[in-house]
Amino acid sequence: MSLNDNSWFTEAYNDFTAFSVRYSRKLYDETSDFQRIEIFETDAMGRVLILNGCFMVTEKDTFIYHEMLVHPAMALLETPRRVVIIGGGDAGAVTELVKYSELESITLCEIDPRVVSSCREYFPALSSGLDDPRVQVLYEDGAAFISRFQEEFDLVLVDSTDPVGPGVALYEMSFYQNIKKSLKKNGAAVLQTESPLFMADVFENSVKNLRSVFGNAGATPYLAVIPSYPGGMWSFTMCSETVDPTKGAPRNISGNLRGDLRYYNGEVHRAAFALPEFVRRML
C-alpha cells in the first residue's frame, strides 16, 4: 500500500510525523481571503475539513473536541446567560451550546465567512446550531472583537486554529488580558491549547501566559484524546478567578440538555483534569 497516490490526504507535522486518510472524492476546494479550505469525503473518518493543510474537523471524532471545549465549563457555571465563541467557524461549539435552554445569547465571532458557509453546506448536522434564534454570527477579527467588552460574558470559548496566519493574535498576552476583562465576575474562559506532546512549547507558553493573567490557580489545563489531531493527546485550559474545575462534582447536565452527549460526563470531567506527570512537570 502506498500513501503517495492521489487518493490519500496527508497532514505532515514539521516533517517528522504525519496523519493520512484515504478519500473517495474532494467535495470542496477554495482559497479564501485568509486560508485554503478543503473538504473531503472519506470512508474511515467521514467528511473532513482541512484548513491550510491541517485537519480541523472529521465527522468521526469532532464530537470529542467540541464536547470537551464546551461542557466542562458549562457544567460548573451557575447561571450562564451570555457566551461568545472566538473562531470555530465550523459551528460545532455553537451546536453544543444551543442544547442549554438557560443561555440567552450565543455569539460566534469568526474571521472567515467562507468557513462558515462551506460547513453549513457540507457539515449540516455539525453547524445546525446556527439556526437557533439566540445565535448571532459576526465576521471579524476575534482579538479586536473581545477587546471592546468589559464584564459582558459568562463564558468565552476560544476555538482557534494553530498559531499561524490569522490565528497568531489568539495566542498573544493582550488577547488573554482582554478575555479576562470581558468576563463577568463569576465567568470562565476555555481555550484550546494544542498538544503537550507535539506542540509542547505552544502548550507550555499558553498555559504560563494564561496563569500570569488569571493567576496560578486560575488557569487549569485538561486533556482529551482526539485521534485526528497531532499526537492524539489534546489540551484545553479553563480560566476563571472563581471557578475551580478540579474541586466539587460538576452538575448533572444530561437532564438539562436538548440533545445527547457522546463523550462528556462527570467521570470524564474529573479524569480530564488529572494530568500525566510529564505534563505537570512542564508547568
Return the SS3 of 36. strand
The C-alpha atoms of residue 91 and residue 68 are separated, in whole angstroms, by 14
Taking the C-alpha atoms of residue 72 and residue 58, their distance in angstroms, rounded to an integer, is 21
Asked if pLDDT for residue 249 goes beyond 80, the answer is: no
Q: What's residue 165's pLDDT?
A: 61
Residue 1 has pLDDT above 60, yes or no: no
Within 10 angstroms of residue 271's Cβ, the number of other Cβ atoms is: 12
Residue 82 clears pLDDT 80, i.e. is over it: yes
Per-residue confidence at 258, pLDDT binned at 50, 70, 90?
A: confident
**Contacts of 189 by beta carbon, 8 Å cutoff, 6+ apart:** 155, 156, 157, 158, 179, 180, 183, 238, 239, 240
Q: Map out the domains of the chain with their CATH numbers.
A: 8-58 (2.30.140.10), 62-282 (3.40.50.150)
Known active-site residue 131: no
The closest alpha carbon to 155, from 266, 70, 264, belongs to 70
Q: How many percent of the chain have pLDDT more than 70?
A: 94
Phi and psi at residue 45, to the nearest 5° = -115, 5
The Cα 39–Cα 205 span in angstroms is 32
With beta carbons less than 8 A apart as the criterion, state whether 4 and 17 touch: no
149-158 pLDDT, tens digit each = 999 999 999 9
What is the tens place of the pLDDT at every residue in 8-58?
A: 999 988 778 889 999 999 999 999 999 999 999 999 999 999 999 999 999
The residue assigned the cell 481555550 is: 191
Separation CA 167–CA 137 (nearest Å): 18
Residue 268 to residue 274: CA distance in whole angstroms: 10
Contact present, 10 and 20 (Cβ < 8 Å): yes
Q: Distance of alpha carbon 41 from its chain centroid, rounded? A: 22
pLDDT, tens digit, 9 for 90 and up, residues 182-209: 999 999 999 999 999 999 999 999 999 9
pLDDT at 161: 74
pLDDT of residue 3: 62
- Choosing from 159, 201, 244, 260, the catalytic residue is 159
Q: Using the 8-state DSSP alphabet, how is residue 140 labeled?
A: S
- Summarize the annotated binding site for spermidine as residue ranges: 66, 90, 159-162
